[in-house]
């Protein structure tokens, strides 16, 4: 599955309050956004943008939907949807056909998998409607744009933070689904970065297929086997934190800053990660930016409806430049958004040997930054620690 694991997190009920479809998020979390005069090609009415998502029952996707509504209001765009496929690829293809038939001039979709949209792409193309894929590379045809954070940067950032503090011992990588571009990109970049920047570190690689129980069990096995020689854990999504943090605490390795602390870095940016960073039980987290996903997915959908042409090398919205990305033999244009890497306080980390021509400097975002989507969501739901 290529979908971001935030949509598959099984333990949100224990860490985050149940998500309502309509949220009230603070306006401060929206960031900057330029309002467009988004009328249809005839100029007689608003552009109609269809939305087809897989889920809305996690904090990330609920926040995304709310940001999308806010930006659509600013841009005077009419949204149709979101329609929810609930992990049913066939249903998602049907829903995209419905959106085309309802007059959508472009469609934003979070694909069930990278290769499941073939029928929908063919139907939309035949009706001169283009798709913008959010969070997932597409490997089954042409889409207008892929809006997705750079998962290669995710892996390098985690490595850069860890190797700035660790140059020997064991480091555990709890890998996601290696058959997915998200898990594959994070794992490859992390391993390459560790090899080049901390050659004396022994890297332990455990594929988990985004399964929380597997990740926590792998972490427990590593702690039991290597003890104080285990220096760091990279969990490629946030859900395992719920088991790893108590495990490290029980072994006396949990407190950030302690001499025997095992570094823990995870990915997502959900409210409980913000809470754990504040409390000193999580070192860092990559914040997959729900606000930027919504902002740029909508902007590119508007561009698609207007017939605007983009090309590789053009300035990106969330990335310095637009890039071509290839998956399963298909190449599509993408805006690989640079996601915030969150730590307790802002710091700058130099990476001597970056991977894939990525930047050699990482400037982290302090957890106190009120515009981080996890903080915005937390503030609207009793605080980031409310569900922890």
Q: What share of the chain is helix, strand, coil (3-state, %, to 5)?
A: 35, 20, 40
Lookup: tokens for 152: 């290669």
Contact 274, 342 (CB under 8 A): yes
pLDDT digits (tens, 9 = 90+) for 204-219: 999 999 999 999 999 9
Residue among 89, 138, 178, 203 nearest 333 (CA): 138
Q: Which phi and psi angles does 185 have, rounded to 5°?
A: -65, -45
Write down the pLDDT at residue 37: 59
pLDDT band for 40, please (50, 70, 90 cuts): low
Q: Which of 63, 61, 48, 148 is nearest to 107 (CA)?
A: 48
Spatial separation of the C-alpha atoms in residues 284 and 34, rounded to whole Å:
31
Polymer length in residues for the chain: 388
Indicate if the pLDDT at residue 9 is higher than 50: no
List phi, psi (to 5°) of 205: -110, 120
**What pLDDT sits at residue 38?**
65
Percent of the residues in the chain that have a pLDDT greater than 70, as a whole number = 88
- Of the listed ranges 14-23, 65-74, 146-155, the one predicted with least confidence: 14-23
- CATH superfamily placement of domain 151-287+341-379: Response regulator (3.40.50.2300)
pLDDT at position 19 over 50: no
Task: Decide: 242 and 276 in contact? Cβ < 8 Å.
Answer: no
For residues 319-343, average pLDDT = 95
Considering the chain, tell me which residue range(s) the CATH 3.40.50.2300 domain(s) occupy. 5-149+289-337, 151-287+341-379
Integer Cα distance of 369 and 342 in angstroms: 9
Instruction: Of 80-84, 118-122, 252-256, give the lowest mean pLDDT range.
Output: 252-256
Answer whether residue 24 shows pLDDT above 70. Answer: no
188: tokens are 């490859």
Tell me the average pLDDT across 347-351. Answer: 98
Strand, coil or helix: 147? strand
Q: In whole angstroms, what is the distance from residue 327 CA to residue 194 CA?
A: 25
Name the residue with higher pLDDT: 170 or 36.
170
For 259-315, the pLDDT digits (tens) are: 899 999 999 999 999 999 999 999 999 999 999 999 999 999 999 999 999 999 999
Q: Kindly report the CA angle at 54 between 52 and 55, in degrees rounded to 5?
A: 115
Q: What is the rounded distance in angstroms from the CA atom of residue 167 to the CA atom of residue 366?
A: 25
pLDDT at 170 over 90: yes
Q: List Cβ neighbours of 194 (8 Å cut-off, separation of 6 or more).
A: 159, 162, 163, 171, 201, 203
Q: Which residue has the tokens 């515009």?
A: 371
C-beta separation of 43 from 49 below 8 A: no
pLDDT of residue 231: 98
Mean predicted confidence (pLDDT) in 106-134:
96
The more confident residue out of 317 and 181 is 317
Residue 256 pLDDT exceeds 60: yes
How do beta strands 145-149 and 169-175 pair? unpaired
Residue with tokens 């750079």: 150
Alpha-carbon distance values, 299 to 26, 152, 201, 223, 302 (Å): 21, 24, 43, 46, 5
Q: What is the pLDDT of residue 56?
A: 87
Mean pLDDT of all residues in the chain?
90
Token output for 332:
């599509």
Write down the pLDDT at residue 217.
98
CATH number for 5-149+289-337 (one of 3.40.50.880, 1.10.357.10, 3.40.50.2300, 3.30.2310.20): it is 3.40.50.2300
Helix (H) or strand (E) run with residue 359 in it: none
| 87 Cβ neighbours under 8 A, 6+ residues apart | 54, 55, 112
Are 93 and 117 in contact by the 8 Å Cβ rule? The answer is yes
> In angstroms, rounded to a whole number, what is the distance separating the alpha carbons of residues 49 and 297?
11
Sign of the torsion formed by the C-alpha atoms of 69, 112, 310 and 141 = negative
- Has residue 180 got a pLDDT over 90? no
Residue 388 pLDDT: 64
The DSSP H or E segment spanning 53 is: strand 48-53
Q: Which residue has the tokens 């306080």?
A: 345
Using pLDDT thresholds of 50, 70 and 90, give the confidence band for residue 58: confident
């Amino acid at each position: 599955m290529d979908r971001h694991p935030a949509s598959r997190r099984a333990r949100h009920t224990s860490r985050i309050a149940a998500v309502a479809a309509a949220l009230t998020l603070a306006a401060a979390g929206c960031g900057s956004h330029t309002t467009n005069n988004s009328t249809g090609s005839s100029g007689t009415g608003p552009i109609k943008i269809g939305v087809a998502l897989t889920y809305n029952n996690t904090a990330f996707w609920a926040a995304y939907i709310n940001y999308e509504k806010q930006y659509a209001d600013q841009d005077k765009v009419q949204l149709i949807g979101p329609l929810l496929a609930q992990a049913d690829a066939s249903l998602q293809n049907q829903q995209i056909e419905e959106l085309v038939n309802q007059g959508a001039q472009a469609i934003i979709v979070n694909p069930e998998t990278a290769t499941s949209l073939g029928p929908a792409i063919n139907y939309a193309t035949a009706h001169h409607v283009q798709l913008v894929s959010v969070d997932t590379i597409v490997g089954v045809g042409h889409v207008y744009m892929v809006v997705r954070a750079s998962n290669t940067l995710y892996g390098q950032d985690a490595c850069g933070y860890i190797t700035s503090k660790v140059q020997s011992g064991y480091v555990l990588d709890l890998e996601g689904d290696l058959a997915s571009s998200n898990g594959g990109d994070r794992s490859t970049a992390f391993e390459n970065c560790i090899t080049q920047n901390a050659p004396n570190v022994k890297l332990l690689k455990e594929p988990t297929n985004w399964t929380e129980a597997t990740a926590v069990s792998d972490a427990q096995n590593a702690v039991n086997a290597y003890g104080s020689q285990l220096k760091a854990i990279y969990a490629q999504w946030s859900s395992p934190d719920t088991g790893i943090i108590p495990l490290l605490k029980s072994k006396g390795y949990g407190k950030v800053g302690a001499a025997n602390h095992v570094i823990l870095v995870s990915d997502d940016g959900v409210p409980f990660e913000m809470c754990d960073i504040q409390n000193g039980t999580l070192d860092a987290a990559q914040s997959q930016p729900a606000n930027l996903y919504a902002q740029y997915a909508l902007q590119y959908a508007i561009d698609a409806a207007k017939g605007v042409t983009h090309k590789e090398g053009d300035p990106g919205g969330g990335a310095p430049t637009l890039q071509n990305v290839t998956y399963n033999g298909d190449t599509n244009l993408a805006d690989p958004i640079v996601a915030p890497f969150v730590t307790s306080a802002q710091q700058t980390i130099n990476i001597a040997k970056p991977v894939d021509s990525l930047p050699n400097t990482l400037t982290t975002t302090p957890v106190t930054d009120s515009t981080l989507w996890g903080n915005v969501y937390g503030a609207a739901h009793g605080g980031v620690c409310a569900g922890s």
